[in-house]
Amino acid sequence: MPRHLLDLFELTPDDFTAILDRAEDLKREWSQGQRPARLPGRTLGLIFEKPSLRTRVSFETAMVHLGGKGLYLNAEDVGMGSREPIEDCARVLSEYLDALAIRAYRHELIETVARYARVPVINALSDLAHPCQALADMMTLREEFGRLDGLHIVFVGDGNNVARSLAVACALGGARLTLAAPPAYAFPDDFAARVRSVGRPDTYDHQPDPSLAVARADAIYTDVWISMGQEEEATRRLSHFQRYQVDEALMAKAPAHAVFLHCLPARRGEEVTASVIDGSASRVIAQAGNRMHVQKGLLSWLLA
């Protein structure tokens, strides 16, 4: 059976560290102008139901650097689940490709593909998880602080797919995550319990007051309040999250060394002010750049 990455819960702490180590080695080679063909002749299919900038370009470029090729497959052209049954698509694509990365509205679609595919399947984003983003986040923090163990990350806003994967990544790396969210947007109890079972009992906590949450933060992270597919909830969500904007006043309540993270795209003036995301504490561009490097590490770990 092939190895998949549908959710970070599938990784052990050793797997997690191995992927980050590979990513850092490949980034070091890249920075020195070296791009060794670790996966010559390999092909990665990219099936995207949602628009993408970072995910598509970083995966396609990663495959070029590794000596392979990424093939972008428009979801409508593939017709997975509409023109053809999902299981037929998964089986046929397994005849042509060495791996699949899928960006989907429903996590269940990715799970079904993985059930029938004979090649590794990567979750490139679903409604429940964004594992590749969380790996890049952890790589960025490890570069910034030289470690993950003992770091305190505060996610301000919705306990969404990005926050969920970040929580699991923190547990795998020995860091702590505080979710500063309205109670209705916190993690479900069963998910929180599962995160704590991976890490330590204090690996995750919920603090509704963002000012209190950031007091000992090493990193403050936020994401858009209204994700793709949630447009009908816009008015309600905007009213619930108004006090959760990351601005200079909130950053001032954190330690001076705290950095700011955002998975992008951002809506300046909503979840974050321009002065913060474009300020000296922001690491969002390095964070986005690490998407390519960590995916190179992941691909080589899955396919080597």
- Average the pLDDT over 122-132 and give the result: 98
The pLDDT of residue 229: 67
Both 150 and 283 in one domain: the answer is yes
How confident is the model at residue 75, as a pLDDT?
A: 82
Examine the domain organization and report whether 59 and 201 are in the same domain: no
The one catalytic residue in 7, 133, 170, 287 is: 133
- pLDDT given at position 242: 94
Please indicate, yes or no, if residue 155 is contained in any of the structural domains.
yes
Q: Are residues 240 and 200 in the same domain?
A: yes
Q: 31 and 141, same structural domain?
A: no
Name the binding residues for L-ornithine. Answer: 161, 223, 227-228
Neighbouring-strand partners of residue 262 = 222
Known catalytic membership, residue 216: no
The pair of three-digit structure tokens given for residue 28, joined into one six-digit string:
């070091």
Contact between residue 174 and residue 138 where contact means Cβ atoms under 8 Å apart: no
Of residues 4, 38, 54, 103, which has the active-site annotation? 103
Is residue 291 among the annotated active site residues? yes
Catalytic residue among 263, 283, 293, 295: 263
Q: Is 89 a catalytic residue?
A: no
Domain count, the chain: 2
Do 255 and 277 lie in a common domain? yes
User: What's the pLDDT band for 79 if we cut at 50, 70, 90?
Assistant: confident
Active site residue 263: yes
User: How is residue 80 annotated by DSSP?
Assistant: B
Grade residue 142 by pLDDT with cuts at 50, 70 and 90.
very high
Catalytic residue among 130, 164, 283, 293: 130
> Do 126 and 183 fall into the same domain?
no
267: domain CATH number is: 3.40.50.1370
- Please write the tens of the pLDDT for every residue from 187-204: 999 999 999 999 989 999
Which residues are documented as binding site for carbamoyl phosphate? 103, 130-133, 263-264, 291
pLDDT attached to residue 228: 67
Q: Is 269 among the domain residues? A: yes
Q: Give 121's Cβ-side CA count (13 Å radius).
A: 27
**pLDDT, tens digit (0-9, with 9 covering 90-100), for 202-254:** 999 999 999 999 999 999 999 999 876 667 777 888 999 999 999 999 999 99
For 251-298, what is each residue's pLDDT tens digit?
Answer: 999 999 999 999 999 999 999 999 999 999 999 999 999 999 999 999
Give yes or no: residues 282 and 138 share one domain. Answer: yes
Do the Cβ atoms of 153 and 221 come closer than 8 Å?
A: yes
Q: Are 106 and 82 in contact (CB under 8 A)?
A: no
Report if residue 3 sits inside a domain. Answer: no
Domain-located, residue 114: yes
